[in-house]
Chain A
């Protein structure tokens, strides 16, 4: 038996951080998750799989726009026509009712666990191999209870679990996506647990397999690398399962870094950036410039300017784009030796969670988005890097003045 497992298609979701791109790029960006889904369906048809598991967040919203719905329905119909069993659950983004789906009724399409009911379905492949699938769909954007406890004991046949969920953490505020403990899943001992929600592809456990396939198309710079689906093959005798990742995304996000050790001219800088951003397919690059404090303020402004990125992008292959530049400074702060310890201590204190929250409170309270940002480690780190670069750059000026 062969199956495909994917999740987090987020069909109508935007890409972050690309406001400066020309509008034709946006058409490509908009179509990227759709293209990835088509590629997955093509793979299913080509491999003649028996089953396709869709582990939630197919749509970015519980009110997906009709065009995405129609597109999705069209792709599912291709699978149905090939008599490939499709099992889908809703995630925290597309927490809709089954009735809202535009996919036509078919014995080959099953929306599992409508309205958060844990549901088990039994199927038999064309070769007569029996299997069960157990799972549930979101009906609200949060599920705080641990639903694993309610999962049934497996029968004496191959059993898939399917769930859109996040591992339990120590922070209760984050335990709103059907929190589970890995050990619980392992204890269930289903043959394959198809997870969704985490966009980073990862295998939580190998025996039995507990798998996040990641999303099918990266949407911002923190979703780097190839994206796609898992293609699984089950030995029908031993029930051993092999999985293989298949990349289907049309656009890959990637981080690259250059390190500056001495000041350099604008031309040299461009040259070094272009040389670093090599691509074999359409890639959106985020560039980290280490030693950015070696750049003058004007150079820094230039390098952070969209027009500069576009100019660099024009020199890249496969329609790749430079979409972000971040500065990293690793040199010591240019302050008197005796005072350095105070600055380091101060930085530590300032960026301590509570203190940063206090400092950024006025701003963070303005909007849910700013509040989320304030709590995002990535963002705080970005601010920290920027602060370091800014301060050090100024301190250099200070010292230059003094010296």
Chain B
């Protein structure tokens, strides 16, 4: 694209200003003008019409702010280009304040026909203003940036010329590079791959440390063996010591026995003792003792007997009365029988004659009276009178009874007896008076009632005159009286017998010292008792005699025994049995001693020698023993320590044997490695993709960069007249001097660095010329170029101009002269040239 005309409507200080470039053989246009003449304004105009106005909103590489003048709207103008196909393009960009884009409105015309703008821009690879400014514009501001030029910047711009969608690919490349950068940094600590690397290294140390388990285990098992051996030795020693100790301790324990043996031996002495003789003595002594006791007993019994011997002649007399008593008993029985017989007969009589009953008690006189009365009776009337009289008074009878009772009671209870006697006497007295009274009244009646005498008789005698036979009655009464007399004599006899008996009973009572009842059975029993007592006394007497005989014998025996005993004592040289007893005890004691000695000797038999040694120096031996005890306790402690050490080792060994630490650490390491591997794959793939894209773009841009470098070197050599011949452009830009020294750009002189700048940028432009061919704008860039260098740049510009249009804006006349070209001169206030 060749710029052939500039038409400024309003821009900077220019208004309605047109420049026609009509230089057929040269593509170098030189604009000459003093400072402030508008050179930079034209440079800015060219750039901004193509890529948009710069209204001070964006920072720019160089001064290019041109605000529209309020009264000269619209701002802008046109650029006219001709391409290799001789097509004419007009780019018109206008901006009216407040209208449309601030970049201005661009109209593109091809051969005066309005066409879409990309028709033009496709031909310059759609580069932007930055690209154009960086690549095609040379001015003081840009020169200052030479130190910042990096391969990447240059490449970037070259890539635009390569593959389709280069810009997007570049974004992708940057995206992946950035990703890679977040994953890993060469000198970083925080990116994840760096972190993993650190962890990995730590873990490797852990694994190494854990593998120490093996060494530990080996050490432990070595330790274990050593400790076991040590333990064996200690136990052996312990056993030895224990044996020694046991022996000594045994001896020590035997010492009392040994000493006892010694004592016992000293206690032995001969004792003469005949145990048979002793036995005899003992037996004899016992016999003597027994005899003595027996004699004492007999004597005691004898003295007792003697005390008990009383006169028993009374008893004997009494006993001899027994047949008499038996006779009395028979007699008494007979009396009782006779009495009963008599009473029976009397009863018969009374039964045969009822009247008898009334008169039975009559005395002879009464009977006679009755007889008389009866005879006096006219009839039967007398009969009763006698009967009346003979009738005993009942009160008297009771009195008698009471008297009898009183006598009896006197024996039993004296008080009652006296009372009964008194009562009996009273009754007898009153009975007597009563009887007398009655008699008196009966006589009076008989006198009064003769006629009724018979009746009275009957009443008086209580007889029935009708059956009354006085003779028979008297006869009966006589018979009855005979009987009565018999009865009386019997009763008398009975009484006598009884009295005899009572007398005897009293005697017996006195002798036996207890009351004997007055009856035959009791008396007989008492008599029997007496006779028994007498029998006992008799047998005692016999016994006494026998005892006395016995005593005599015993005394004789005692005497013999004593003699024998004394003989034995004499033989044994003892005075008495006690002494003999002592000798016997001594003898037994000696026997016991001998037995003990025998036992001890048999027990100690094996150790006697040692015992002798031990006792020789007892203190030393005891010390030896306590020393052994000490040693034993020490060795015991050692053994315990060793055992606990062994146990400890075993625990550790077991722990190690069961440990999965090594595996766990290794697995952890393996896991970390896996993580690192995966993340590294991620990182490397990102990195590689970015490199890959870059490389592909590089290839697509036809390796322009290396070629550009070659060109740049050539230009640098040209510009520096071979003082500098190599450029190394990577992260830092360095150049190689003729002498081979590499110099970083910041250490270059200003002039050299400007030459480098020119070389690189012109090489770049040269490199892209077939893709992007736009005018090179050089705005007063040679201020620091001395003449020699101006010559050199002149040569170079001419070389460049063969392919690219070069527009030089300068205030240096020397340069204009050197160029040997007619310049377009810009002066301040120029309106039209």
Contact = CB atoms under 8 A, between A and B. Distances in A.
- Give the most central of B169, B680, B700: most A CB within 10 Å: B680
Given A14-B663, A61-B211, A398 B165 contact: yes
Interface in A191-235: none
A302 B692 CA distance: 26
Contacts of A370: 197, 676, 680
A199 B656 CA distance: 29
Given A19-B671, A67-B660, A363-B683, A391 B699 contact: no
A18 B669 CA distance: 11
Interface string A66-83: 111110000000000000
Given A66-B217, A338-B164, A370-B197, A19 B657 contact: no
B677 A373 contact: yes
A168 interface: no
A383 B693 contact: no
Contacts of B660: 30, 65, 67
Nearest to B695: A346
Contacts of A19: 670-672, 674-675
A67 B656 contact: yes
Contacts of A63: 211-215
Contact of B667 (A26, A347, A360, A384): A26
B218 interface: yes
Given A17-B674, A336-B165, A343-B692, A363 B193 contact: yes
A387 B210 CA distance: 38
B152 interface: no
Contacts of A383: 681, 684-685, 688
Interface size band for B: 35 or more
Interface in A347-395: 347, 349-351, 356, 359-360, 362-363, 366-367, 369-370, 373, 379, 382-384, 386-387, 390-391, 394-395
Contact of B172 (A30, A373, A394): A394
Interface in A97-134: 100
A301 to B, nearest CB: 11
Given A363-B193, A363-B683, A346 B663 contact: no
B9 interface: no
- Give the most central of B217, B672, B682: most A CB within 10 Å: B217
Nearest to B207: A61
Given A61-B211, A346-B698, A339 B164 contact: yes
Contacts of A26: 667
Interface residues of A, number: 57
Given A387-B685, A390-B686, A349 B666 contact: no
Contacts, number: 174
B398 interface: no
A387 B688 contact: yes
B657 A70 contact: yes
A386 B685 contact: yes
A67 B197 contact: no
A14 B672 CA distance: 12
Contacts of B680: 363, 370, 373
Contacts of B657: 66-67, 70
Contacts of A351: 688
Contact of A391 (B672, B683, B693): B693
A335 B695 CA distance: 14
Given A65-B213, A336-B165, A383-B681, A350 B197 contact: no
B783 interface: no
Given A342-B699, A343-B696, A346-B698, A335 B197 contact: no
- Give the most central of A18, A60, A67, A338: most B CB within 10 Å: A67
A391 B669 contact: no
A387 B666 CA distance: 30
A64 to B, nearest CB: 6
Contacts of A15: 667, 670
B176 interface: yes
B667 A390 contact: no
Contacts of A356: 688
Interface in B713-739: none
A293 to B, nearest CB: 13
A201 B682 CA distance: 32
A345 interface: yes
Nearest to A380: B684
B200 to A, nearest CB: 6
B184 interface: yes
A9 to B, nearest CB: 14
A12 interface: yes
A363 B184 contact: yes
B688 A12 contact: no
B661 interface: yes
Contacts of A157: none
A373 B193 CA distance: 14
B684 to A, nearest CB: 5
Nearest to B682: A386
A401 interface: yes
B691 interface: yes
Contacts of A13: 666
A16 interface: yes
A336 B691 contact: no
A61 B683 CA distance: 31
Interface in B129-185: 162-165, 168-169, 172, 175-176, 184
A398 B172 contact: yes
A67 B184 CA distance: 39
Given A18-B671, A386-B681, A366 B197 contact: yes
A23 B175 CA distance: 38
A69 B162 CA distance: 64
Contact of B677 (A68, A338, A379): A379
B674 A67 contact: no
- Give the most central of A19, A68, A347: most B CB within 10 Å: A19
Given A343-B696, A350-B692, A390 B681 contact: no
Contact of B699 (A70, A345, A395): A345
A342 B694 CA distance: 10
A101 to B, nearest CB: 11
B796 interface: no
Contacts of A395: 172
B689 interface: yes
Contacts of A14: 663, 666-667, 669-671
Interface in A318-338: 335-336, 338
A343 B163 CA distance: 10
A369 B200 contact: yes
A30 B688 contact: no
B434 to A, nearest CB: 150
A67 B666 contact: no
A205 B734 CA distance: 60
A13 B660 CA distance: 11
A395 B175 CA distance: 12
A401 B168 contact: yes
B609 interface: no
Contacts of A349: 695
B118 to A, nearest CB: 15
A113 B67 CA distance: 94
A61 B695 CA distance: 44
Nearest to A61: B211
B201 interface: yes
6 contacts: A17-B670, A335-B696, A339-B700, A343-B692, A387-B689, A394-B176
Interface of A: 12-19, 26, 29-30, 60-61, 63-70, 100, 335-336, 338-339, 342-343, 345-347, 349-351, 356, 359-360, 362-363, 366-367, 369-370, 373, 379, 382-384, 386-387, 390-391, 394-395, 398, 401-402
Given A346-B696, A373-B677, A391-B176, 13 more contacts: A19-B675, A65-B660, A66-B213, A335-B163, A342-B699, A350-B691, A350-B692, A386-B682, A390-B686, A394-B172, A394-B175, A394-B176, A394-B689
Task: Enumerate the 9 nearest inter-chain pairs by beta-carbon distance, A residue then B residue, closest first.
Answer: A19-B671, A65-B662, A346-B695, A63-B214, A14-B667, A14-B670, A342-B699, A346-B696, A386-B685
